[in-house]
C-alpha cells in the first residue's frame, strides 16, 4: 500500500465529534475506497539503509556476528514489551488494525485490516533477523513513540527495521532454525553452514565450468 507525498498526505476529518489529522492512503483494488490512516504516516520513506560493514573472514565468524545482531533485536523487543503500558502492549498484539473509510462528506466508518499485512505493505521490512511478529510489534511501537513525541526511540526502531544484512537467505534460514536465539544450537547451525558453503562452492564451480 502506497501513500501520496507530504503535500497531499494530510487531511482534516471529523470523527467522534472531534477534528483530527488523518493521512490519506493510496486507494487499492478492488474497491478503490478512500482510506484514511489515523494520524501521520511515519516515516514518509521506505527504502533500506546501507548494508553493514562485515569483518568476518569465514562463515563461522559470520554466524557469531549474526547472532550478536539477533540478540540486539531480542533485547530491544523485550525492552519495548516491558516499558510500554500493558494496555498499549495488548493493542499492539491485536491482529486487527483500524483504518477509516470516507462515506460522504463528513462521515468516517471503521475498517479492520490485518495489522501485520498492513504494516508490511506500508513499511517494508529489510532486516532479515526480525520475525514477522516482531516486525509488526516494532512498527506499532514506533508509531506509539512518535505519538508520545519520543522520536529518538521511534527512529531507533525504524532504523532497525530498515537495516539489511548480506545474504538474506542465509539469515532467514538461521533465524527459522532458531540457531540465532540461543547458544544450545551451535552444532545444528554449523552443520547448516557447512552444507550452505558446499552448495555455494558447487554453484560457483558450475558457473566456472559453464564459462570454459
- The predicted pLDDT at position 30 comes to 64
Q: What is the mean pLDDT of the chain?
A: 83
pTM: 0.82
Express each pLDDT in 81-101 by its tens digit.
999 999 999 999 999 999 988
Express each pLDDT in 110-154 by its tens digit.
999 999 999 998 999 999 999 999 999 999 999 999 999 999 999
Least confident of 14-28, 56-70, 78-92, 112-126: 14-28
pLDDT band at 9; cut points 50, 70, 90: very low
DSSP codes of every residue in the chain = -----HHHHEEEEEETTEEEEEEEEPP-TTT---EEEES--S-S-----PPPP---SSHHHHHHHHHHHHHHHHHHHHHHHHHS-HHHHHHHH-SEEEEEEEETTTEEEEEEEEHHHHHHHHS----TTS-HHHHHHHHHHHHHHHHTT-HHHHHHHHHHHT---S-HHHHHHHHHHTTTS-GGGHHHHHHHHHHHHHHHHHHHHHHHHHH-
Amino acid at each position: 500500500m502506497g501513500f501520496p507525498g507530504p503535500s497531499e498526505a494530510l487531511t482534516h476529518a471529523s470523527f467522534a465529534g472531534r477534528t483530527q489529522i488523518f493521512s490519506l492512503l493510496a486507494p487499492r483494488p478492488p474497491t478503490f475506497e478512500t482510506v484514511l490512516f489515523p494520524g501521520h504516516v511515519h516515516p514518509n520513506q521506505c527504502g533500506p539503509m546501507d548494508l553493514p560493514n562485515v569483518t568476518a573472514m569465514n562463515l563461522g565468524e559470520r554466524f557469531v556476528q549474526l547472532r550478536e545482531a539477533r540478540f540486539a533485536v531480542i533485547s530491544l523487543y523485550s525492552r519495548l514489551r516491558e516499558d510500554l503500558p500493558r494496555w498499549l502492549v495488548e493493542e499492539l498484539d491485536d491482529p486487527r488494525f483500524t483504518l477509516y473509510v470516507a462515506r460522504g462528506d463528513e462521515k468516517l466508518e471503521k475498517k479492520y485490516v490485518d495489522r501485520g499485512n498492513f504494516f508490511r505493505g506500508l513499511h517494508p521490512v529489510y532486516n532479515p533477523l526480525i520475525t514477522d511478529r516482531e516486525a509488526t510489534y516494532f512498527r506499532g511501537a514506533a508509531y506509539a513513540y512518535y505519538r508520545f513525541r519520543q522520536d529518538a526511540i521511534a527512529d531507533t526502531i525504524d532504523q532497525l527495521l530498515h537495516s539489511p544484512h548480506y545474504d538474506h537467505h542465509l539469515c532467514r534460514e538461521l533465524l527459522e532454525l532458531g540457531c540465532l536465539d540461543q547458544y544450545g544450537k551451535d552444532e545444528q547451525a554449523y552443520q547448516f553452514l557447512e552444507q550452505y558453503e558446499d552448495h555455494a562452492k558447487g554453484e560457483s564451480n558450475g558457473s566456472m565450468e559453464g564459462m570454459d
